Amino acid sequence: MLLDAKESCLLLVDVQEKLTPLVHEHEKLIKNCQWMLKAATMLNIPVVAAEQYPKGLGHTMPALKQALPAATPIIEKTSFSCASDENCMYQLKKVDREQVVVMGIEAHVCVLQTALELLSEGREVYVIADAVSSRNPEDTRYALDRMNGEGVIVVTREMVLFEWLQGTVGTDIFKQVQKELF
């Protein structure tokens, strides 16, 4: 099943100031999340962002906060899963998209629990393998394996982008994306 730009939203999970520097290849994670946020903005894909206990873990990384599309809700949560948080689920229902594309940290905790719960709610869930991480790379690998085995679709950022661009080769938006993202 392909992603459809008209049916997708992007969920940024817990890429926060105090935890992000501790995750494996955090610079790459931030760069890939920024890239996805830029792609979502260019293609008018709704974005929802979540922060796990910001009093203790800080807020969304400044580079990502700046890359968020205007008026993106940033939801403070205390549950690991975004799907267990009433405010986060309200925002996801508000954007009214069946396909949820997930990126963030930590892959084996908040990302995994969010993805599996969204899947159990009947959503199509896609996790961007090159835009998730954990402190321990083994945790990321096993989380992606488990999610895949449970029915979550594991993708890369370019897979997402080119599926969102389906059928638009040679158009102005394709040329803009090609110029600004590659």
> Where do the domains of the chain lie, and which CATH numbers do they carry?
8-181 (3.40.50.850)
Please report, for residues 17, 67, 92, 102, 112, the alpha-carbon distance to residue 96 in angstroms, rounded to integers and kept in the order given. Answer: 29, 22, 7, 16, 22
pLDDT digits (tens, 9 = 90+) for 98-134: 999 999 999 999 999 999 999 999 999 999 999 999 9
Query: Could you tell me the two tokens for 17?
Result: 């100031």
**Which residues of the chain are modeled with pLDDT < 70?**
none
Taking the mean position of all CA atoms in its chain, how far away is CA 111? 9
Per DSSP, which regions of 31-98 are E strands? 47-52, 74-77
Return d(Cα 133, Cα 47) in angstroms, integer: 19
Phi and psi, residue 13, nearest 5°:
-110, 110
**What pLDDT score was predicted for residue 175?**
86
**What pLDDT score was predicted for residue 74?**
97
Return d(Cα 174, Cα 50) in angstroms, integer: 29
